[in-house]
Amino acid sequence: AQKITQTQPGMFVQEKEAVTLDCTYDTSDPSYGLFWYKQPSSGEMIFLIYQGSYDQQNATEGRYSLNFQKARKSANLVISASQLGDSAMYFCAMREGSPHTGTASKLTFGTGTRLQVTL
């Protein structure tokens, strides 16, 4: 079974609108972390937001928020007020285990969602 599933290969959103990128995960480890990364056409991987499995509140970072539904094993990224510069590939990733051990390097990535922001 896929550990990280991103079911939307591509998404379009109009500038200034909000968009939700879906991510579901599969793990039996009670301690895990979920990450979203942005990859623009230039190719670098840019960290956006993190949610720990024990975090009580959904993570927010500026225009990015993570809709964490633990029972459904979903960690959707919400981008508010989309901008043209948000056009990029977005990857959801999971770390299983503590962030303070070697497993912290072992991220499992989804296949990504390509977001295109239009005027």
Partner 1 sequence: NAGVTQTPKFQVLKTGQSMTLQCAQDMNHEYMSWYRQDPGMGLRLIHYSVGAGITDQGEVPNGYNVSRSTTEDFPLRLLSAAPSQTSVYFCASSYSETKANVLTFGAGSRLTVL
Report the interface residues with partner 1, using CB under 8 A: 4, 33, 35, 37, 43-45, 47, 50, 52, 91, 93, 95, 99-102, 104-107, 109-112
Helix, coil or strand: residue 38 = strand
Nearer to partner 1, 5 or 87 (CB): 5
At its nearest, how many Å lie between partner 1 and the CB of residue 37? Answer: 8
Distance CA 91, CA 75 (A): 12
CB of 6 to partner 1, least distance (A): 8
In the bound state with partner 1, the residue whose beta carbon lies nearer, of 93 and 115, is 93
How far apart are CB 59 and partner 1 at their closest, in Å?
A: 9
Shortest Å distance, C-beta 63 to partner 1: 18
Name 49's Cβ contacts closer than 8 Å, sequence gap at least 6.
35, 36, 59, 60, 61, 64, 65, 66, 77
Positions of E strands within 1-119: 4-5, 10-14, 19-21, 24-25, 32-39, 46-52, 60-61, 64-69, 74-79, 88-96, 107-109, 113-118
Identity of the residue, 14 or 54, whose beta carbon is nearer to partner 1 in the bound complex: 54
Name the residue nearer to partner 1 (CB basis): 83 or 101: 101
